Structures are given as C-alpha cells and as structure tokens.
Amino acid sequence: MLHYNPSTHSFIIPKLQIRNYRSPNFPTISCRFVRENYNGLVLDKTRDDKGMKWYHEMKLEVRDYECDRYGVVNNAVYANYCQHGQFRLSEMLGLTAAVDVVALKELSLKYIAPLRSGDRFLLKVRLCDFSAVRLYYENLIFKLPNLEPILEAKSTVVWLDKSYRPTRIPQRVISLIPRS
C-alpha cells in the first residue's frame, strides 16, 4: 500500500520483511530490503537478487488513442508500456528477436493512479532475477515532472527454443546481465 508523507512531500512504498517468502509468480528468495530514495519517492528493493541493481529508464508520453472515452489510459495499455520497456532493455543488453525467443508467462499489475492523454511519464524497467528458464522483470511508472507513482508491475518471461518449447537460458545471455 502506498503512503504519502505530507511533511516530507514523499511517497513511501512499504514492503514486507519476510524470509524465504514463496510467491506464486516469483522464485523463493531470501529478502533483505534496503531503502532507496528517488527524488522524494522511497522504494524498498531486495539486494539478494541475481539480476540488475539499477533500472533502465525511458521517458514516454500518453497518446490519445491509448485512452478511453473518459480520457484515462486504458488498463490494457499499461501492459504494452511494460513490454515495450522490456524489449528496449533487452536490446540494450544485446539480445535480439532474431536469435533470442521469449514468451510472457505471467504479468501482475498494481494500479496506483491513472494517466491521462498528453501526460509524460517515466518508465523504469529492470531484470531483477532469473532462473534456469525464466527471467523476472520489475516495471515502475511515474508521472512526470513530480514523479507521482502510477504503476508497479512484475512479469515472468520464459526462454524458448526454436520449436517454442521452454529451454535453459544460454550462458551467453546470463553473462550479459549486469549485476551492479
């Protein structure tokens, strides 16, 4: 749940401190949380992840056709934003669609506030963990310029072979994942 602290004009997103928590979407991890301050927004994040410790950031703008008749971004469009960010991050890491095939297995979205037509926003994506055949992404969307939290999302992507069957992630791909 998101909490607003009026004295510091900041948002706090609390996370539970649980050891060996098993989520249906993500592998068992031993959680140690460290607070990260991002321009007034305080996020908790784990430090035991095998994946990236930083976020790939993109600034985007809401287009008119992404909104419903009330001028609010349709809820399905947020999944497109998350997938777009994951593709851009994959390109930056050196993964190519011609060689590397993945499929979205699960996507969990937590809506915090709406975006409207013309709003500019910051999309943050990181590859937070991986297993033998899965990649786990974390996506955050903040409204610009005040970095108001809009969405939190987590997704699971499965690595596929040429016959579209789940397969182990190649070692060359694991070596491309930055750990710091």
Give me the active site residues, please.
Answer: 68
φ, ψ at 171 (rounded to 5°)? -60, -35
Distance between CA atoms of 38 and 115, rounded to whole angstroms? 20
What radius of gyration do the chain's Cα atoms show?
Answer: 17
- Token readout for 133 is 């055949």
Three-state DSSP class for residue 78: helix
- Token readout for 39 is 């321009």
